[in-house]
């Protein structure tokens, strides 16, 4: 089975721009979660989608949004980029049942200049 | 809100030796899951081991085992016969099992960087 894939792997943007990141889960997985990883804050939960519905949301400003499509692929969007948005963005997929293992993608490294 | 604390930012171990990474957590819930994830340099995060809180038996996976002390809210990871490939960041994570609406949200500790010396 193919693993979780994320595109693009690297991105450089400037302040004020917007960006869209994509995540393709493992086949059959209906849950996709997004995390932001920075040296200072560590790994922080952004949101989770299950069957096209946002099931949980972390404590991030409204500039961070996401969606999930009928094939379970997910996108996250960050509008009006700030320098502090520079991070590794990880997505993870799972079957969506309690305690199921989440499988992580390689991440998208975003640099905001 | 739940929190996870990893008090050792860095650890080192000699190849073939044993090392224990510490993790404590704070929660008022009685039903939850705990995980250890490994993130090698520039590589994907992978699950090392998981523990269900209602199971008293400590989980083991080959050279990896945990010491789960529910009353003390402690969840340490022991790596036996350390190998060079074990060098990585290790993250302890918590997931609630009490959200009836369902959620895969993981709460992570800050991580422990493990160095394996040949």
Contact residues for A99 (Cβ-Cβ < 8 A; gap 6+): B33, B50, B52, B95, B97
Is some CB atom of chain B closer than 8 A to the CB atom of A6? no
Instruction: Flag whether pLDDT at B103 surpasses 80.
Output: no
pLDDT at A4: 96
For A16-33, the pLDDT digits (tens) are 999 999 999 999 999 999
Mean pLDDT of B96-111: 81
How many whole angstroms separate alpha carbon B31 and alpha carbon B11?
30
- Give me the pLDDT at residue B101, please: 58
Q: What is the mean pLDDT of residues A27-44?
A: 94
Judged against a pLDDT cut of 80, whether residue A1 lies above it is answered with no
Q: List CB contacts (< 8 A) between B101 and chain A.
A: 55
How much is the average pLDDT of B87-96? 96
Task: Give the Cα separation of A21 and A23 in Å (integer).
Answer: 7
Check whether B99 has a pLDDT greater than 80: no
Average pLDDT over residues B64-90: 96
Nearest CB partner across the interface for A55, out of B46, B97, B101? B101
Give the nearest chain B residue to A56 (CA atoms): B103
Which tens digit of pLDDT belongs to each residue from B15-57? Answer: 999 999 999 999 998 889 999 999 998 789 999 999 999 888 8
pLDDT tens, position by position, A56-104:
899 999 999 999 999 999 999 999 999 999 999 999 999 988 778 899 9
User: How far is the C-alpha of A68 from the C-alpha of A74, rounded, in Å?
Assistant: 4
pLDDT at B100 over 60: no
For residue A84, the SS3 value is helix
CA distance A44 to A74: 18
What contacts 24+ positions apart, CB below 8 Å, involve A39-46?
A42/B108, A42/B109, A42/B110, A42/B111, A43/A90, A43/B91, A43/B106, A43/B108, A43/B111, A44/B108, A45/B105, A45/B106, A45/B107, A46/A76, A46/A89
The count of other CB atoms within 10 Å of the CB of residue B18 is 12
DSSP β-ladder status, B10-14 and B112-117? parallel
Cα B45 from Cα A72, distance rounded (Å): 21
Task: With cut-offs at 50, 70 and 90, classify the pLDDT of residue B85.
Answer: very high
For residue A107, pLDDT over 60 is answered with: yes
Q: How far is B105 from chain A (nearest CA, A)?
A: 7
**Length in residues, chain A:** 113
Token output for B40: 């090698």
Residues 6+ apart with CB under 8 A from B62: none
Residue B42's pLDDT is 79
């Amino acid at each position: 089975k193919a693993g979780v894939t994320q595109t693009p792997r690297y991105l450089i943007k400037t302040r004020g721009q917007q960006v869209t990141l994509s995540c393709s889960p493992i086949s059959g997985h209906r849950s996709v979660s997004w995390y932001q990883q920075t040296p200072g804050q560590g790994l922080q939960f952004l949101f989770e989608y299950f069957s096209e519905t946002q099931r949980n949301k972390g404590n991030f400003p409204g500039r961070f949004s996401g969606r999930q499509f009928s094939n379970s692929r997910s996108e996250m969007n960050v509008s009006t980029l700030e320098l502090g948005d520079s991070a590794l963005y990880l997505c993870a997929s799972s079957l969506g049942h309690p305690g199921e293992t989440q499988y992580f993608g390689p991440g998208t490294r975003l640099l905001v200049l | 809100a739940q929190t996870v604390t990893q008090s050792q930012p860095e650890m080192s171990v000699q190849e073939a030796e044993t090392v224990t990474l510490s993790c404590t957590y704070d929660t008022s819930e009685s039903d939850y899951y705990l995980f250890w994830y490994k993130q090698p340099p520039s590589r994907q995060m992978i699950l090392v081991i998981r523990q269900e809180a209602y199971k008293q038996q400590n989980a083991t996976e080959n050279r990896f085992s945990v010491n789960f002390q529910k009353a003390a809210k402690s969840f340490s990871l022991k790596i036996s016969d350390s190998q060079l490939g074990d060098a990585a960041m290790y993250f302890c994570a918590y997931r609630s099992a009490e959200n009836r609406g369902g959620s895969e949200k993981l709460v992570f500790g800050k991580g422990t960087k493990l160095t394996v010396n040949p």
